[in-house]
Structure 1
Amino acid sequence: MKLIIAEKPSVAKNIADALKIRGKKDGYFEGNGYIITWAFGHLLQLFDAKDYDSKMTRWHMDNFPFIPPSFKYKVKGSPRNREKPDPGAKKQLNTIYFLMKRQDVECIISACDFDREGQLIGDSIIYKMKPTKKVYRLLINEWTADEVLNGLQNMKSNDEMIPLRDAGVSRQWADWVIGINLTSVATLKYQKGSGKALNIGRVLLPTLKIIYDRDEEIKNFVPEDYFKLTATFKTKDNQLYEGTYSEDEKEKFKDKKKLEEMKEAIKNSNGTVSDKQVERKKEFPPFLFNLSNLQGHITNKYNGWTSDKVLKVAQSLYEKKYITYPRTASIALEESLVGKTAKVLTTHSEGLPYKDEIKFVKSKRVFNNNKVESHSAITPTYMIPKRLTKEEEIVYQAIKNRFVMQFMPVAQYEETKITTKIDDNTIPGHFQTKGKVQLVEGWKKVEKIQSKDTLLPLVEQHDSVTTDSVEVSSHVTKPPKQHTEKTLLRVMETCGKSYKQEDSEEMLGSILKGFSIGTAATRAETIKKLKDVGYITNQSKSLLCTELGKKLVETFPVEELLDLEFTGRLEKTLADIEKRKVKKEAFLSMVFDFTTKSVEKIKQDKEIILHQVSSTKPSREVLGKCPMCGHSIIEGKKGFGCSNWKNGCKFVVWKNDKYLAAMKKRVTKTMVKNLLKNGTVKVKGLTSKKGNKFDANLQYIKNPDNEYFSWKMEFADKRK
């Protein structure tokens, strides 16, 4: 028997389906020569500081820096009580270790995600048992049956993955040491009152600094007036076209008086078309998605989406076998995928109105090993989804469309440039006019992208024209825009580098590989955490620093952690560990030394309070009167209950009520308010056992035989 350990139950099910195994036991599948079990992501976590030394139970300045002599792992903590091991994780670990010891198991196969985090998850579980059996690694980019079977025929020895594991371990240990020490010391130094800690992290702070810098740019921006001179010309056929005055390739001028004088001189004068250039240009489709570009595309196009949400939806599609591995930084496919990609394209071309225009071509824009880092770009698999949620449909269609675009005709347009010179030698410059006409729609058909045409009258070089009107317009320079998740992801991906002449997805996808703020897999989590800890906030799609975030950037003395270059070099070193260019020990030694010096720098910093935590408990919102005793109904952790519960009132509306949960609904605060006010509440979008959606009016009625309440339903308009 061969034992396969997957990262999640859904992946284990995909593998079992590929191997046609139907025999499910408690915590694993078995059949056809395989046993397939699973983790739930990280089943093990690093010891907390207090697990190494009891004095670390309480935070005291004298206890830091704290760097354990060796790092140890324990069963991950329960979400309800971090002090106790999660019972589900403990049970599954015991199942895995029981299976590893079985006499009939000849080898162990790690089937966790093919990245440093997946390697760490699998290896931390497997090697804690010090196995004597051979360990192999299943390395695949999607969980379709064909790919699973092919991957099992081409496994690697897990010993070959030691550099990837070292990179994962180095990242985990470094973030633990920096996070534990600097978060603790910064909180003790700069925060007054107990409450949430001042989170300090290797990736968190430089990302905060990116947003802070943009906020400061906008705040310190001084608008400047500038002016433009525009003329409308009339051809011999009485057709009009507009031109903008240009002098020494400059169209914006600060001297309004000079332009006004020119305006008077030009009025009613004649001109000549001194030059006409007509050029046919190609528009290639945007490159295949990597994770950052997918997140930027979706968050920019749809309101209410975050990078974290895009990743979660993409991960769901991946586990359902509909797309390839989403946590990728690449915008191209490996050249070995040519044959497979052609088949996937054939599958997805069926039924499309532009099917006849889709042609498979092996191009360097799509297939290029030099642009692939660990994983190829995100594409659909050959599996056609039968049912998707609205969110899954949005992400899936974006990925599918971007894939199909690569094999549609290149869009083409004709650009016309007309140069008009006034027939007066005292006017030094000339007027520029541009026109554009789309000739070939090509890949733009896929998402119905409308091109804006600018039509010009038919004029030729040396034609004479007359000036119909002249206008001097006033303008004001605009400040830079606030960062959005799309622009922030781009800065994180390129470590803040600006490439003006090569600012294309192609260049940005290939420069400085590994030299970034975080990775494709972690950037969304970083942005979410910045919001959760109160360092940044949203205004529509814009991201802004809060007062706390601003104070932290302006005060925190460890400047390296706010420096994009420093953090980029750390990330680059982790990438170099994967490539065997740097040893894990050298990286960790540097991080430990940096942490020790940083702790001392914070200790010696001036005394200042950045954050004062109020000790008063927030007053709870009263949702209505209790129907049993008349006291206030307030929100608790698990339900909405009577504030008079200590005196025996048992009225409560449970948040995760089983009756409503069966119809895929959860009790909300608004529902409870309406229920208490009106005695009934209309609930929309309930789901029947057959999967049909319907609306209903609900009452919460006391049972005649006891003090408890039950829901009573009256049907509203039914929807199919």
Structure 2
Amino acid sequence: MKKVIIAEKPSVAKNIADALRIKTRNDGYYEGSDYIITWAFGHLLQLYDAKDYDSKMTRWKMENFPFIPGRFQYKVKSSPKNRDYKDPGAVKQIKIISSLVKRNDVDAVISACDFDREGQIIGDTIIDSISAKKKVYRLLLNEWTQEEVIKGLNSVILNTEMKPLRDAGISRQWADWIIGINLTSVATLKYQSGRGQALNVGRVLMPTLKIIYDRDKEIESFVPEIYFKLGAVFGTQKGQVYEGSYYEKGEDKFKSDEQLKAIVKLLKSQTGFVADKKVEKKKEYPPYLFNLTGLQGYITSKYKGWTSDKVLRTAQSLYEKKFITYPRTSSTALEESLKGRTAKVLDAMKKGLPFEGEIKFTASKRIFDNSKVESHSAIIPTYMVPKKLTGDEQLVYTAIKNRFLMQFMPVAEYEETKITTKIHSDEIKGEFLSKGKVQLVEGWKKLENSETKEVILPQVGIGEDVAIQDAKISQHKTTPPKQHTERTLLRVMETCGRKLDGKDEERVNAVLSGYSIGTPATRADTIKKLKDIGYIEYQNKNLVCTELGRNVVETLPVSELFDLDFTGKIEKKLYDIEKRRYSSEEFLEFIRNFIFAAVHKLKSEETVVLKKVEAVKKETEVLGKCPVCGHPIIEGQKGFGCSNWKSGCKFVIWKNDKYLAAMKKKPTKTMVKALLKNGQATVKGLTSKKGKKFNAILKYEKNPDNSYFTWKMEFAD
């Protein structure tokens, strides 16, 4: 008996087929002696639209909201070209999967979709729609190398064990549907004039917009303050010089320069002495391994033209090509069980490097720590070394590879020197501080190619007198906070803006597990969507609110939507469903109550226009003259027809014409123009019944005995 494996994408299905050395590919699947491998294209099914539940929801009317179906249902996803039609590719692939699962020689199904909420429901909704009474297993992998695929298939688990992950995924999907359908519709009816792109309101969109809005307002309301600093140059008895900054009660910034002017005057007749000198050797550890947020922040801040969405897409491509582990992770450490595999990867990665001898495997708790891993370990390379990558892939891969190698290189060490210089005067209460830094061991920093700025202080002893060679007061101005970049925004989204005092920033996520805005997989898409719908814009690398974005934040009366704490609690509840600490029923009841209150609040507010959509009259392109009545032929939704159709002219070339469809062709504007002008069109790439490609001359001629038109084919000499 065979097992059907359902992968999330064709590329992953090919990786599994390659690992199992299955070469036979059929239409929509691979088949071997023990396994049949088929695939989805991400989500093949989607939730019903509101109008699918109730025809009154075809048009948005305020009295129809809130709208929450009693039971959620799924359908084949809509065509991206026309939402009223099913996606033909999805229809075909579901039929293929269904026929494979229902085969008599198949006794089980293995869901091999990504090991996360979305991957779980992609596989489960497909399998549920088929209703085949076969055992269902789950393949949970972090990478698609041959070794891991074979190992994973030998240790599949029953899919029922993944119910908490499924519940969390479906709860997220249903909640976002309820919030999106109700609040987007009501807000659009309330605050938008004219028909066009809706006033988009979402669970993750709104708090993210508010973060950017708050920073913009903070910058606008910022009032700069003037402050002063005092610096001095000291000369040693051996003729060396060093600089120091004046501190009093631990502060080196002074609101007035009057006090500093008095000190400068005193310094002219004084000498100083070295009151204290401390020399410390310090260690600098490499930054932690990348999670998705860290990788996105690193790339977008370092390279021009990169967005977090582009980083995710590039990392996903590397993952599907088997070169890196699963990228949609929130962890910065590796599972302790991966020590052996990591050592193997390290051997492959370090080969040929000029400092290969310095890279040595170590099972450090800083790298391997189960308590810091959520579902997926940090992003690292696999043992497969790529031979050819695109420019974008190379850039992201190098960043991941270098961050990985850094963990196994010597810790960077430097010597820090602090000199405290005091003045021989009781009238000067403060002291001058000087700091020096000398790199002793470069270690992992060799991979950064960054020059270390060294400040070397002279050799002086405690109690040694020094001359005051110069003293200057400098004026400074406080600066406003910087506008958010994708890097800083992602960081705030990751922790809902929460800071933990006394905690290493890299470990904050481990403490705030599940408390965030969105997930690593969705945050990049949220930022992209905010830009696409016109709520924010880029100014170089900075993110700023548009006028529409500001108006939305300032007008929408549902304060919870913009509250980071409220949003974090929702994400935390989903996380707790995943961890079996909270039920999906309780969660959906919480969402229902929120929506009823939010819609009531929106309805009761005063109506104002935030967005005015002007009706744009579309210019209709004339493709030629109608061969029946001479009126213009224009393109319609379903075909190319006569503009005189209201008066009874029936000439039309349908877009789904069966004659052309049999040869896997659709009529195009170019083809129609040629037919109307010349009476014939040369069409390339037609497909015969045997699957062979050919070219031909087509004519569309009126039948002599009736009003219908028929296709005729000729072949060029």
Report the 3-state secondary structure (helix = DSSP H, G, I; strand = E; otherwise coil) of the residue aligned with 2:166.
helix
CA displacement 1:597-618 (0-9 Å, x = unmatched): 1111000012211111122459
Q: How far did residue 437 of structure 1 move?
A: 0.5
One-letter amino acid of the structure 2 residue matched with residue 375 of structure 1: H
CA distance in 1, matches of 2:247, 2:261: 15
Q: How far did residue 130 of structure 1 move?
A: 2.3
**1:551 is matched with which residue?**
551
One-letter amino acid of the structure 1 residue matched with residue 537 of structure 2: T
CA distance in 1, matches of 2:500, 2:377: 24
Q: How does 1:449-468 map to 2 (within 5 A)?
A: 449-468=450-469
**2:182 is matched with which residue?**
181
CA displacement 1:601-639 (0-9 Å, x = unmatched): 00001221111112245999xxxxxxxxxxxxxxx99xx
**2:482 is matched with which residue?**
481
CA distance in 1, matches of 2:522, 2:383: 28
Q: How does 1:114-133 map to 2 (within 5 A)?
A: 114-133=115-134
* Cα distance, 1:618–1:552 mapped onto 2, change above 3 Å: farther
One-letter amino acid of the structure 2 residue matched with residue 15 of structure 1: I
**1:397 is matched with which residue?**
398
Q: How does 1:3-22 map to 2 (within 5 A)?
A: 3-22=4-23
Q: How does 1:258-657 map to 2 (within 5 A)?
A: 258-499=259-500, 501-505=502-506, 507-617=507-617
Report the 3-state secondary structure (helix = DSSP H, G, I; strand = E; otherwise coil) of the residue aligned with 2:244.
strand
- Asked if the contact 1:268–1:468 (Cα under 8 Å) also holds between the matched residues in 2, the reply is no
Q: How far did residue 508 of structure 1 move?
A: 2.4
- Asked if the contact 1:271–1:466 (Cα under 8 Å) also holds between the matched residues in 2, the reply is yes
Report the 3-state secondary structure (helix = DSSP H, G, I; strand = E; otherwise coil) of the residue aligned with 2:543.
strand
CA distance in 2, matches of 1:619, 1:494: 49
CA distance in 2, matches of 1:327, 1:101: 33
CA displacement 1:642-685 (0-9 Å, x = unmatched): xxxxxxxxxxxxxxxxxxxxxxxxxxxxxxxxxxxxxxxxxxxx
Q: What is the TM-score normalised by the length of structure 2?
A: 0.86
Of 179-188 and 587-596, the range deviating more from structure 2: 587-596
Q: How far did residue 131 of structure 1 move?
A: 2.5
- Asked if the contact 1:268–1:466 (Cα under 8 Å) also holds between the matched residues in 2, the reply is no
* Cα distance, 1:500–1:222 mapped onto 2, change above 3 Å: farther
Report the 3-state secondary structure (helix = DSSP H, G, I; strand = E; otherwise coil) of the residue aligned with 1:142.
coil
CA distance in 2, matches of 1:372, 1:44: 31
**1:661 is matched with which residue?**
none
Q: How far did residue 593 of structure 1 move?
A: 1.2
**2:629 is matched with which residue?**
none
Of 565-574 and 445-454, the range deviating more from structure 2: 445-454
CA distance in 1, matches of 2:221, 2:452: 37
CA displacement 1:202-224 (0-9 Å, x = unmatched): 00000000000000110000000
Q: How far did residue 129 of structure 1 move?
A: 2.1
* Cα distance, 1:110–1:181 mapped onto 2, change above 3 Å: same
* Cα distance, 1:570–1:262 mapped onto 2, change above 3 Å: same
Compute the RMSD of aligned alpha carbons: 1.5
CA distance in 2, matches of 1:237, 1:613: 77
One-letter amino acid of the structure 2 residue matched with residue 101 of structure 1: K
**2:217 is matched with which residue?**
216
One-letter amino acid of the structure 1 residue matched with residue 543 of structure 2: L
One-letter amino acid of the structure 1 residue matched with residue 415 of structure 2: E
Question: Which ranges of structure 2 fall in alignment gaps of 5 or more residues?
Answer: 621-634, 637-698, 700-717
CA distance in 2, matches of 1:525, 1:508: 23
Q: How far did residue 123 of structure 1 move?
A: 0.1
One-letter amino acid of the structure 2 residue matched with residue 562 of structure 1: F
One-letter amino acid of the structure 1 residue matched with residue 168 of structure 2: A
* Cα distance, 1:619–1:356 mapped onto 2, change above 3 Å: farther
CA distance in 2, matches of 1:409, 1:434: 25
CA displacement 1:14-63 (0-9 Å, x = unmatched): 00000010111110000131100000000000000001111101000001
CA displacement 1:482-507 (0-9 Å, x = unmatched): 000000000000111123543522x2
Q: How does 1:156-235 map to 2 (within 5 A)?
A: 156-235=157-236
Of 609-618 and 594-603, the range deviating more from structure 2: 609-618
One-letter amino acid of the structure 1 residue matched with residue 210 of structure 2: K
Report the 3-state secondary structure (helix = DSSP H, G, I; strand = E; otherwise coil) of the residue aligned with 2:453.
coil
CA displacement 1:123-179 (0-9 Å, x = unmatched): 000012223111000001000000000001111100000000000000000000000
Report the 3-state secondary structure (helix = DSSP H, G, I; strand = E; otherwise coil) of the residue aligned with 1:341.
helix
CA distance in 2, matches of 1:268, 1:204: 64
CA distance in 2, matches of 1:552, 1:48: 25
Report the 3-state secondary structure (helix = DSSP H, G, I; strand = E; otherwise coil) of the residue aligned with 1:119.
helix
Report the 3-state secondary structure (helix = DSSP H, G, I; strand = E; otherwise coil) of the residue aligned with 1:392.
helix
Q: How does 1:104-123 map to 2 (within 5 A)?
A: 104-123=105-124
CA distance in 2, matches of 1:27, 1:257: 81
**2:138 is matched with which residue?**
137
- Asked if the contact 1:7–1:122 (Cα under 8 Å) also holds between the matched residues in 2, the reply is yes
* Cα distance, 1:606–1:72 mapped onto 2, change above 3 Å: same
**1:673 is matched with which residue?**
none
Q: How far did residue 286 of structure 1 move?
A: 0.3
* Cα distance, 1:43–1:310 mapped onto 2, change above 3 Å: same
**1:642 is matched with which residue?**
none
* Cα distance, 1:437–1:86 mapped onto 2, change above 3 Å: same
Q: How far did residue 449 of structure 1 move?
A: 2.5
One-letter amino acid of the structure 1 residue matched with residue 381 of structure 2: P
Report the 3-state secondary structure (helix = DSSP H, G, I; strand = E; otherwise coil) of the residue aligned with 1:110.
strand
* Cα distance, 1:280–1:499 mapped onto 2, change above 3 Å: same
CA distance in 2, matches of 1:96, 1:589: 35
Report the 3-state secondary structure (helix = DSSP H, G, I; strand = E; otherwise coil) of the residue aligned with 1:136.
strand
* Cα distance, 1:495–1:618 mapped onto 2, change above 3 Å: farther
Report the 3-state secondary structure (helix = DSSP H, G, I; strand = E; otherwise coil) of the residue aligned with 1:165.
helix
- Asked if the contact 1:19–1:32 (Cα under 8 Å) also holds between the matched residues in 2, the reply is no
One-letter amino acid of the structure 2 residue matched with residue 463 of structure 1: E
Report the 3-state secondary structure (helix = DSSP H, G, I; strand = E; otherwise coil) of the residue aligned with 2:521.
coil
CA displacement 1:253-283 (0-9 Å, x = unmatched): 0121111111111124200100000000000
**2:245 is matched with which residue?**
244
Report the 3-state secondary structure (helix = DSSP H, G, I; strand = E; otherwise coil) of the residue aligned with 2:568.
helix
**1:24 is matched with which residue?**
25
One-letter amino acid of the structure 2 residue matched with residue 587 of structure 1: F
Larger Rg: 2
Report the 3-state secondary structure (helix = DSSP H, G, I; strand = E; otherwise coil) of the residue aligned with 1:614.
coil
Of 273-282 and 128-137, the range deviating more from structure 2: 128-137
CA distance in 2, matches of 1:582, 1:257: 63
- Asked if the contact 1:331–1:509 (Cα under 8 Å) also holds between the matched residues in 2, the reply is no
CA distance in 2, matches of 1:392, 1:127: 36
Report the 3-state secondary structure (helix = DSSP H, G, I; strand = E; otherwise coil) of the residue aligned with 1:107.
strand
CA distance in 2, matches of 1:576, 1:421: 58
- Asked if the contact 1:318–1:326 (Cα under 8 Å) also holds between the matched residues in 2, the reply is yes
